[in-house]
Structures are given as structure tokens and as C-alpha cells.
Amino acid sequence: GQNIDQPTEMTATEGAIVQINCTYQTSGFNGLFWYQQHAGEAPTFLSYNVLDGLEEKGRFSSFLSRSKGYSYLLLKELQMKDSASYLCAVREVGTALIFGKGTTLSVSS
């Protein structure tokens, strides 16, 4: 089975940088995804990592270390609209995505 851990809550201020960590334990790793979910809305796809290293996409970057079972999502130049829940999800070979419980990020001015 899978175990995915991420912090429950984080707070930050506008313009700052925040890093949301995710650790996982799986058998047969086949990719790690990050999703953003605003309150009352559906999750939306942010990023995908299958190889070690950093993937950058605008203000958002995601890092993966497969040997350590570790990933992080880095958000730069925070804006109020970034207040949301961030979900880490892992896919094992031949299965669907399994999600962590999410990290609720609150951005204040």
C-alpha cells in the first residue's frame, strides 16, 4: 500500500516563497503529481515528476527525489489567490493516483 504525508497547514505572506513537502512510501513508483484545490472547487493539475530533479513552471516548481521518497512544491512571489489546498499524489505501476490529505496554504497581506 501507499503512505503519503504532507503538512496539514501552512501560512505565508504575499510576495514570499513557500515550500510544501511531501514524503511517500510506495512499491513500484510511477510518477508524482501536485494538484491545487480552492475551497469548494475541484482539484486542478499543477505538475508532474517522474525523474529526479526540478520541474519549473512559472511561479511554481516541483522537485522529486525517488531514492528519498520525497517531493516538494515551491511557490514563489505568493499572491492572495494562491490560498488553497495543495495535494500531493503518487501513482504506482498499474494503479490510479493516490492522494495525500493535502496542505492548506493561507496567504495573508
Partner 1 sequence: DAGVIQSPRHEVTEMGQEVTLRCKPISGHDYLFWYRQTMMRGLELLIYFNNNVPIDDSGMPEDRFSAKMPNASFSTLKIQPSEPRDSAVYFCASSQTGFGYGYTFGSGTRLTVV
Tell me: does residue 33 bind partner 1 (CB under 8 A): yes
Tell me: does residue 95 bind partner 1 (CB under 8 A): yes
CB atoms near residue 52 (< 10 Å): 11
Tell me: does residue 32 bind partner 1 (CB under 8 A): no
Binding part of the chain for partner 1, among 9-17, 21-29, 31-39, 70-78 by CB under 8 A, reads: 31-39
Separation CA 41–CA 26 (nearest Å): 28
At 57, the amino acid letter reads K
Tell me: does residue 97 bind partner 1 (CB under 8 A): yes
23 closest CA partner among 108, 109, 103, 94: 103
Tell me: does residue 50 bind partner 1 (CB under 8 A): yes
